[in-house]
């Protein structure tokens, strides 16, 4: 049956930034499809983990701030242990959004943005290549953004845009380099999604109306919209898809 291609029974997945927003939507989708999902976040939220356990989902939790250079590799190593010696899926979702004029953008703010949005993704992918190459199989999914494809308005955010463009190119490069090892690497580029990260902008009397007006569907998406896309890219249903950046934006980038 075609629907069986979307099942993840027996698969082990590590999701960073997993306890809220888009990450939570991805955990919902992957665990519902049968995966053993290991949630990771900077701030522990035991109530979130318990919620999934109460639903009968197979979940575990690892705490870690991916801005620390040592943490991505540690998370991958510990996820492999929790997964019984394997890691089938890595979802790099942890990220931050920072706006500001480039001519006055603080160096510390820029460095934090790149540390989290780009460097941690590289390090986690690098660490996951070990077990995945040994398995001769694996899926990596990086969460980019439409901001890696277009220059958003009205907010100035050159640094953030650059960080997400880097994620997209890292995705394509890894897909090309490791396809022969049985590893698929893709990305999702969300548009404006209702989360804690975007609620302020959506409520802003200037930014919010522009974001909606420039989206043909005239509304923001939901975390489960991204979760559904993630399930496709992490499952056998996308077995012939690698190196792609799947845009989920209500049509924003078609105009």
Nearest-angstrom CA–CA distance, 46 and 51? 9
Sign of the C-alpha dihedral, residues 170, 122, 86, 48? negative
Nearest-angstrom CA–CA distance, 143 and 234? 12
> What's the burial of 232, exposed, middle or buried (CB within 10 Å: 0-12/13-18/19+)?
middle
> What's the burial of 144, exposed, middle or buried (CB within 10 Å: 0-12/13-18/19+)?
buried
Please name the residues in contact with 162: beta carbons below 8 A apart, sequence gap of 6 or more.
none
Please name the residues in contact with 224: beta carbons below 8 A apart, sequence gap of 6 or more.
25, 28, 29
Beta strand residue intervals within the chain, DSSP E: 12-15, 36-41, 59-63, 89-92, 138-143, 183-190, 245-248
Nearest-angstrom CA–CA distance, 15 and 141? 9
C-beta separation of 36 from 11 below 8 A: yes
Residues marked as catalytic: 160
Written as six digits, the tokens of 170 are: 């890292």
Residues paired with residue 246 on neighbouring β-strands, in sequence order: 188
């Amino acid at each position: 049956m075609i629907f069986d291609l979307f099942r993840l029974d027996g698969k082990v997945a590590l999701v960073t930034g997993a306890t809220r927003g888009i990450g939570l939507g991805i955990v919902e989708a992957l665990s519902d499809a049968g995966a053993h999902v290991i949630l990771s976040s900077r701030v522990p939220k035991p109530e979130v983990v318990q919620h999934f356990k109460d639903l009968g989902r197979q979940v575990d939790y690892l705490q870690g701030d991916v801005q620390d250079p040592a943490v991505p590799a540690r998370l991958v190593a510990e996820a492999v242990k929790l997964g019984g010696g394997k890691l089938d899926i890595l979802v790099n979702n942890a990220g931050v959004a920072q706006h500001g004029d480039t001519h006055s953008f603080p160096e510390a703010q820029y460095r934090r943005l790149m540390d989290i949005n780009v460097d941690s993704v590289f390090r986690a992918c690098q660490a996951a290549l070990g077990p995945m190459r040994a398995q001769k199989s694996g899926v990596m999914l990086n969460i980019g953004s439409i901001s890696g494809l277009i220059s958003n308005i009205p907010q100035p955010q050159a640094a953030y845009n650059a960080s997400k463009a880097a994620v997209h190119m890292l995705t394509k490069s890894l897909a090309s380099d490791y396809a022969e090892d049985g590893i698929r690497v893709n990305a999702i580029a969300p548009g404006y999604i209702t989360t804690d990260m975007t609620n302020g902008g959506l409520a802003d009397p200037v930014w919010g109306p522009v974001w909606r007006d420039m989206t043909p569907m005239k509304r923001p998406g939901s975390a489960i919209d991204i979760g559904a896309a993630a399930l496709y890219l992490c499952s056998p249903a996308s077995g012939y898809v690698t190196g792609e950046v799947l845009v989920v934006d209500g049509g924003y980038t078609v105009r």
